């Protein structure tokens, strides 16, 4: 995607892909970016684009660009164009042609008929309200539709009439027959097709029924051979349905899997399409590409580069945490890129006239100034210097503060690329008394900015010559919203930043007249500016400020930092264990189950914790069998609860691949000291994965306990030799390195007792 050295990104998705590749589930990675063509792409999409295209690139796979155009009433060809443009601009290179969900309408319909034939879908004539009402809610199961048990033939007839256009919008829908009592509301007979007599931007009037997202999306993925279907967190609940539809229509090779990551939330802006649209419609901004908008088009016009956006995506990473990204990170990426790519130019935003009293009236000197500071080889331009100059109003103070470095009465400064000047007089408007001009002298021996005597002024100022300076519109943009979370409460519009746009008539050095639309410059000491691509005229660019320079001196614009959490408040939190109502309920449960209670007493287990465990009948029975099999009760309980449970959870199951009796044999291995605890964990993991006989596995895996102290000493010695640096540091006082050394020693002295190894290590370390 870019020519930068490929960085190895590591996140939960690369972990999954690594595992898939290692296990041979896929031989190559196919991802997709599936926007709905009903709006402009924004920076959140840019994150998704970087992710999907980046993952494909990182693994040598491909990424598809697919328009998810299943709802004809909101979608449009114009959006299709802008989306393609933006994706390309961001550097996304999709595999083959642009794809469209609508390309698969025929296949999707065939599969829907197959669903009906298989008795897995039915046509429902309930009204919208009835469907909603009968779906139930979080606490109550839904009720079956009266049309749920229609015959296959009847369903097929109705479906074909829907497709044939015989029915008006809303007459009926096709629903999947799943489970109206599912705790996941999406599984309560979700809609598959609805009737929409609407013109589709691609299929025209061919169809009058359109598939719903939950049905269409998995099929689009499967049909395209997508391996990893990556979407945002709010679709987690939809995954069960995604899998259901694929299971009912498959088998598919490859079989796509859906994974979810946290969408981007950025401070001082809004990201929802609805709110962005509202800003446009209500003319709070000039359009989708207003430079203050977080849209890709807006940022492009603002002067943000695709490189900056990609760097930003890399910087913020990918995870499942709901997070709010500090907008400063975006600003950092923008500055960092522009810093190394932009030419430097002189422009004065708020003018203050300067007259050089010792400069000849009519002399205009052309100074040659490099576009890149300190590197004339990359190009120079002529900058005229004359008697009447303009400097930045804010660069002069009549009564300077103690740390003031700029111009003041009696002080000398350097003019960028030109001469040293010294102020000796201030002119005022006779009426307002405001300063309207400075009288200065110029040191003619400092041409180019260096003094023969080597003196260095405290400041270097930007400037232009009054007579030759261009006058141009410069638009100063700031954050669109005044608060970090505009949509946290109430109406987000009330948080609009009234100062998000300021238009100035600025004075520019003449060379800037030839800037092409889209050209970026750093206006020295001001910020990065781009010639607007829309409003610039040939020879007369209009400028947008992309971003200011970082300013560590005067920081009025810096947002107040949220105060650090007061430590006292943290400590004030009650340290006492909080026992919820579940605690008492579990104790009550134990009272009602004397057998379990007796077992609990026998184990010496904490009653509430044991009850929580014992409330699962399968787990309790497993434990009973283990005890019956001869395992010491407390050990059986501990190993089952602390170790086995975790291993099973990691394998997404609850039933172990062996019975309680076999488990007892395993537990006895530890109790009778045939193997150490550490070895037992290894054994258990292997056993869960591959099955077999635990006793045989002990020798097969070489886990039998080793008590040979001589062998342990050799192993420890070896480890110390291999980790001499750590040993040195440990001896120098870094006690935490004992863990590293001990870990290595444990692995070397396989099967040895940890205490013995530890003692041996400590002893040798002390020598």
Partner RNA sequence: AGGGGGAUCGUCUAAUGGCAGGACCGCAGACUCUGAAUCUGCUUAUCAAGGUUCGAAUCCUUGUCCCCCUGCCA
- Does 120 qualify as catalytic in the annotation? no
Sign of CA dihedral 610, 615, 616, 617: positive
| Residues between 479 and 498 that touch RNA (CB under 7 A) | none
Cα separation, 615 vs 632, whole angstroms: 21
Choose the stretch contacting RNA; rule: CB under 7 A; options: 148-156, 244-252, 293-301, 543-551: 543-551
Binding track over 403-442 against RNA, x by CB under 7 A: xxxx-------x-xx-------------------------
Side-chain-facing half-sphere of 357: CA atoms under 13 Å: 10
- Single residue of 77, 743, 762, 763 touching RNA by CB under 7 A: 743
The closest alpha carbon to 480, from 682, 233, 285, 336, belongs to: 285
755 binds RNA (CB under 7 A): yes
Structural tokens at position 571: 């400590």
Choose the stretch contacting RNA; rule: CB under 7 A; options: 42-50, 222-230, 358-366, 645-653: 645-653
Cβ atoms 418, 437 nearer than 8 A: no
Cβ at position 332, least distance to RNA in Å: 4
- Does 273 qualify as catalytic in the annotation? yes
Cβ atoms 348, 390 nearer than 8 A: yes
321 binds RNA (CB under 7 A): yes
**Residue closer to RNA, measured from CB, 123 or 279:** 123
344 binds RNA (CB under 7 A): yes
| Residues between 206 and 235 that touch RNA (CB under 7 A) | 210, 212-214, 216-217, 233-235
Cβ atoms 682, 670 nearer than 8 A: no
For residue 548, list its beta bridge partners. Answer: 527
Cβ at position 14, least distance to RNA in Å: 8
609 binds RNA (CB under 7 A): yes
Binding track over 64-93 against RNA, x by CB under 7 A: ----x-xx--x-------------------
Cβ atoms 293, 76 nearer than 8 A: no
In angstroms, the Cα distances linking 485 to 262, 269, 326, 648 are 17, 7, 11, 41
| Residues between 177 and 206 that touch RNA (CB under 7 A) | 183-186, 191, 194-195
The H or E element spanning position 229 is: strand 228-232
Could you tell me how many residues of this chain bind RNA (CB under 7 A)? 133
Catalytic position from the list 9, 36, 120, 525: 36
Radius of gyration of the chain (CA): 36
Euclidean distance between the first and the last CA atom of the chain, given in angstroms as a whole number = 56
Q: Give every CB contact of residue 177 below 8 A, 6+ residues apart in sequence.
A: 119, 120, 121, 122, 148, 189
Cβ at position 692, least distance to RNA in Å: 21
| Residues between 103 and 142 that touch RNA (CB under 7 A) | 126-128, 131-132, 135-139
Cα separation, 523 vs 764, whole angstroms: 66
Exposed (0-12), middle (13-18) or buried (19+): which is 553, by Cβ within 10 Å? exposed
- Single residue of 143, 612, 620, 665 touching RNA by CB under 7 A: 612
Binding track over 669-708 against RNA, x by CB under 7 A: -------xxx--x---------------------------
- Single residue of 430, 710, 736, 767 touching RNA by CB under 7 A: 736
Catalytic position from the list 148, 196, 255, 263: 263
165 binds RNA (CB under 7 A): no
Cβ atoms 10, 54 nearer than 8 A: no
Cβ at position 577, least distance to RNA in Å: 4
Write the DSSP string, 355-379.
EETTS-TT--EEEEEESSTT-GGG-
Cβ at position 81, least distance to RNA in Å: 18
Choose the stretch contacting RNA; rule: CB under 7 A; options: 49-57, 466-474, 518-526, 706-714: 518-526
- Does 592 qualify as catalytic in the annotation? no
In angstroms, the Cα distances linking 616 to 288, 493, 613, 619, 623 are 56, 52, 6, 5, 11
Catalytic position from the list 107, 120, 148, 273: 273
Q: Interhelix angle for 617-628 vs 607-614, to 10°?
A: 100
| Residues between 546 and 585 that touch RNA (CB under 7 A) | 549-553, 555, 558, 561-562, 564-565, 573, 575, 577-583
- Single residue of 253, 322, 362, 432 touching RNA by CB under 7 A: 322
Q: How far is CA 247 from the centre of its chain?
A: 30
- List, by residue number, the catalytic residues: 36, 263, 273
């Amino acid at each position: 995607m870019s020519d930068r050295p490929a960085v190895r990104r590591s996140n939960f998705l690369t972990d999954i892909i690594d595992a898939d590749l290692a296990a041979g589930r896929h031989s190559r990675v196919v991802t997709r970016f599936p926007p709905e063509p009903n709006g402009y792409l924004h920076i959140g999409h840019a994150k998704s684009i970087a992710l999907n295209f980046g993952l494909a690139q990182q693994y040598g796979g491909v990424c598809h660009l697919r328009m998810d155009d299943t709802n004809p009433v909101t979608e449009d060809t114009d959006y299709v164009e802008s989306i393609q443009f933006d994706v390309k601009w961001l550097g996304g290179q999709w595999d083959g042609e642009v794809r469209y969900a609508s390309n698969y309408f025929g296949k999707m319909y065939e599969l829907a008929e197959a669903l009906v034939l298989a008795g897995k879908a039915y046509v429902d004539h309930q009204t919208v309200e009835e469907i909603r009402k009968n779906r139930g809610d979080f606490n109550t199961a839904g009720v079956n539709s009266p049309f749920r048990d229609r015959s296959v033939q009847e369903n097929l007839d109705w479906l074909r009439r829907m497709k044939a256009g015989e029915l008006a919008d809303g007459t009926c829908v096709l629903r999947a027959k799943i489970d109206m009592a599912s705790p996941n509301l999406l599984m309560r007979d979700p809609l598959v097709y609805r009737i929409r007599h609407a013109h589709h931007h691609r299929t025209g009037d061919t169809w009058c029924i359109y598939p719903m997202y939950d049905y269409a999306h998995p099929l689009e993925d499967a049909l395209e051979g997508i391996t990893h279907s990556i979407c945002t967190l709010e679709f987690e609940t939809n995954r069960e349905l995604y899998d259901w539809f694929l299971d009912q229509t498959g088998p598919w090779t490859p079989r796509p899997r859906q994974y979810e990551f946290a969408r981007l939330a950025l401070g001082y802006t809004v990201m929802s399409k609805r709110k962005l649209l509202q800003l446009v419609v209500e003319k709070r901004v000039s359009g989708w590409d207003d430079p203050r908008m977080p849209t890709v088009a807006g940022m492009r016009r603002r002067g943000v580069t695709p490189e900056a956006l990609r760097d930003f995506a890399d910087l913020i990473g990918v995870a499942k945490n709901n997070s709010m990204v500090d907008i400063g990170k975006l600003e950092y990426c923008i500055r960092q890129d522009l810093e190394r790519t932009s030419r430097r130019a002189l422009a004065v935003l708020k003018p203050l006239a300067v007259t050089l009293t010792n400069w000849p009236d009519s002399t205009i000197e052309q100074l040659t100034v490099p576009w890149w500071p300190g590197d004339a080889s990359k190009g120079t331009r002529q900058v005229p210097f004359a008697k009447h100059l303009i400097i930045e109003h804010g660069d002069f103070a009549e009564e300077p503060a103690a740390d003031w470095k700029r111009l003041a009465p009696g002080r000398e400064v350097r003019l960028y690329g030109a001469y040293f000047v010294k102020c000796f007089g201030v002119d005022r408007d006779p009426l307002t008394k405001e300063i309207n001009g400075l009288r200065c002298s110029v040191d003619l021996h400092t041409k180019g900015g260096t003094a023969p005597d080597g003196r260095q002024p405290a400041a270097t100022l930007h400037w232009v010559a009054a007579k030759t300076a261009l006058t141009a519109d410069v638009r100063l943009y700031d954050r669109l919203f005044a608060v970090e979370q505009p949509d946290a409460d109430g109406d987000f519009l009330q948080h609009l930043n009234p100062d998000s746009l300021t238009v100035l008539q600025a004075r520019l050095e003449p060379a800037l007249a030839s800037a092409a639309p889209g050209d970026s410059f750093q206006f020295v000491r001001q910020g990065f500016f781009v010639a607007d691509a829309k409003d610039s005229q040939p020879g007369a660019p209009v400028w947008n400020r992309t971003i200011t320079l970082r300013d560590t001196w005067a920081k009025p614009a810096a947002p107040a930092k949220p105060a650090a959490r007061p430590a006292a408040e943290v400590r004030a939190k009650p340290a006492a264990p909080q026992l919820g109502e579940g605690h008492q309920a579990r104790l009550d449960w134990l009272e009602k189950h004397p057998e379990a209670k007796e077992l609990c007493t026998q184990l010496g287990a904490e009653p509430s914790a044991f009850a929580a465990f014992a409330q699962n009948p399968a787990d309790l029975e497993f434990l009973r069998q283990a005890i019956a099999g001869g395992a010491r009760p407390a050990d059986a309980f501990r190993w089952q609860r602390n170790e086995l449970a975790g291993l099973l959870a990691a394998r997404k199951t609850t039933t172990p691949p062996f019975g309680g009796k076999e488990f007892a044999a395993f537990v006895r291995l530890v109790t009778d000291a045939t193997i150490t605890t550490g070895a037992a964990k290894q054994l258990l993991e292997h056993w869960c994965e591959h099955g077999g006989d635990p006793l045989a596995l002990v020798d097969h895996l070489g886990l039998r306990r080793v008590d040979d102290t001589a062998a342990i000493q050799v192993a420890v010695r070896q480890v110390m030799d291999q980790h001499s640096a750590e040993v040195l540091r440990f001896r120098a006082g870094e006690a935490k390195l004992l863990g590293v050394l001990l870990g290595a020693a444990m692995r070397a002295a396989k099967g040895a007792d940890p205490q013995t190894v530890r003692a041996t290590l400590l002893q040798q370390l002390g020598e």
